[in-house]
Amino acid sequence: MSQPILLLNCGSSSIKYQLLDPEQTRPLAVGIVQRIGQGRSTLDHEVAGQEFHLDQDFADHTEAVAAVVEQFNQHGPSLSEVIAVGHRTVHGGNTFKESVRINQAVIDKLKELSELAPLHNPPSVAGIEAAMGILPDVPHVAIFDTAFFSTLPPAAYTYAINREVTEKYRIRRFGFHGTSHSYVSKKAAEFLGRPVEDLRIIVAHLGNGASISAVKGGVAVDTSMGLTPLEGLVMGTRSGDIDPGMPKYLAGKGMTLLEIDDMLNKASGMGGLCGFTDMRDVVAAIDEGDKQAELALDIYVHRLISYIGSYMAVLGGVDVLAFTAGVGENSAPVREKTIKRLEGLGFILDDAANQVRSKEPREISSPESAVRVLVVPTNEELAMARETLAVLAAG
């Protein structure tokens, strides 16, 4: 008997979803809504080998979830058999260290945590409320991006700010994209046929949001995102690391705190540097001679290699570098630029392997490379389905 689970992965600019039957290897349906709130939105729904495409602008995640449900109604499969829904939830704060069955108290807490993840928890809550409205009689489970990083050592998660402030407000580095970093690090080890316990792995999750992690023996020991998903790498619209003195300086010039925060979260990163938030557009612009786009990509790669070098130090060397997420899986030019800059540290790219497009894990380093470089497509939904089942089994 079929016992499908619906997985909703609300990202900052997208919703990915799958209808999975844990008994079957292939999903019953997969789909993605892209460029939510950015104009030129699209929806792709795939069921039984048939693909349906929709060009329609979605202003926010609530509109997009409604359109996803409409796809199931029009093209199937029916959602009436669904036994549970798993929701990607970005910020668990100090409250949620592992996946949890959702009730009103959980939703209220997630709304409270929205101040720490303004681009993310509101879409998650929108997805949860919409799905609970449509499927009110099945359990809904929240799976947190922060969970995998609850093992970070104190030296990695503590900011060097005043201790009393840290304690009073329970400030720490939480880390995000944990479901993906966990899945990809295990998958990388599996691909290499080595126990994850024996490996030092750096995972570069480069999507619209981007983060990088250092994983030693299967346990996360460092990651680039912090108290909020703003810290770290250069992203589609987020600045990543800046001098913490900058907000005060800008406030002195007349910007309000809200304007500064909006600028850093929504109008910075690649979009703020060159006008294109999507890496496909950045690379196309460079090909047409756009100098701002070229500089933006140089800044992106500069930050990325700085983190890779730093995590090699944290890990005491590295065995594997794994690229994942939208940019990491699909952008050969970004991977090439990154690995070429790391040649001095023993990374050697296999140019032909780097051009291969596939949904399977693959190696892109040459045999003489000191570090194995992989592309490992993430599957947050599959990992979420496993989590959902585990929560249900726990009662």
Ligand X SMILES: CC(=O)OP(=O)(O)O
Q: Which residues are annotated as a binding site?
A: 9, 16, 88, 205-209, 278-280, 326-330, 380
Tell me the backbone φ, ψ of residue 141, rounded to 5 degrees: -125, 135
Q: What is the amino acid identity at position 102?
A: I
Annotated binding site for substrate: 88
Q: Which stretch binds Mg ion (CB under 5 A): 42-50, 199-207, 235-243, 341-349?
A: 199-207
Nearest-approach distance from CB 68 to Mg ion, in angstroms: 16
Nearest-approach distance from CB 288 to Mg ion, in angstroms: 28
Residues 324 and 127: their CA atoms lie apart, in Å, by: 24
Residues 21 and 70: their CA atoms lie apart, in Å, by: 20
229 binds, among ligand X, Mg ion, ligand ADP, none (CB under 5 to 8 A by kind): ligand X
- Cis peptide before 27, with omega less than 30 degrees from 0? no
Per CB under 6 A, residues contacting ligand ADP are 11-14, 207-209, 236, 278-280, 325-327, 330-331
Per CB under 6 A, residues contacting ligand X are 11-12, 90, 120, 145, 176-177, 207-209, 229
Nearest-approach distance from CB 317 to ligand X, in angstroms: 28
Which residues have CB under 8 Å from 139's CB, separation 6+?
Answer: 84, 85, 101, 102, 391, 392
Toward ligand X, which CB reaches closer, 179 or 388? 179
Tell me the backbone φ, ψ of residue 9, rounded to 5 degrees: -115, 90
Toward ligand ADP, which CB reaches closer, 27 or 326? 326
Tell me the backbone φ, ψ of residue 71, rounded to 5 degrees: -60, -45
Nearest-approach distance from CB 10 to ligand ADP, in angstroms: 9
Catalytic residue among 55, 108, 137, 145: 145
Considering the rule CB under 5 A, would residue 207 count as an interface residue with Mg ion? Answer: yes
Toward ligand ADP, which CB reaches closer, 192 or 296? 296
DSSP 95: T
Q: Are 318 and 328 in contact (CB under 8 A)?
A: no
User: Is 62 buried (19+), middle (13-18) or exposed (0-12) by CB count in 10 A?
Assistant: middle
Q: Are 78 and 50 in contact (CB under 8 A)?
A: no
Candidate list 6, 7, 8, 11; residue touching Mg ion; CB under 5 A: 11
Q: Specify whether 350 is catalytic.
A: no
120 binds, among ligand X, ligand ADP, Mg ion, none (CB under 5 to 8 A by kind): ligand X
Toward ligand X, which CB reaches closer, 27 or 326? 326
Nearest-approach distance from CB 80 to ligand X, in angstroms: 29
Q: Are 113 and 93 in contact (CB under 8 A)?
A: yes
Toward ligand ADP, which CB reaches closer, 121 or 369? 121
Residue 346 structure tokens:
């023993």
**Positions 239 through 268 that interact with Mg ion (CB under 5 A):** none
| Residue 49: strand, helix, or coil | coil
Q: Which residue from 184, 141, 204, 162 is spatially nearest to 395, judged by alpha carbons?
A: 141
* Interaction site with Mg ion (CB under 5 A): 11, 207
Catalytic residue numbers, as ranges: 145
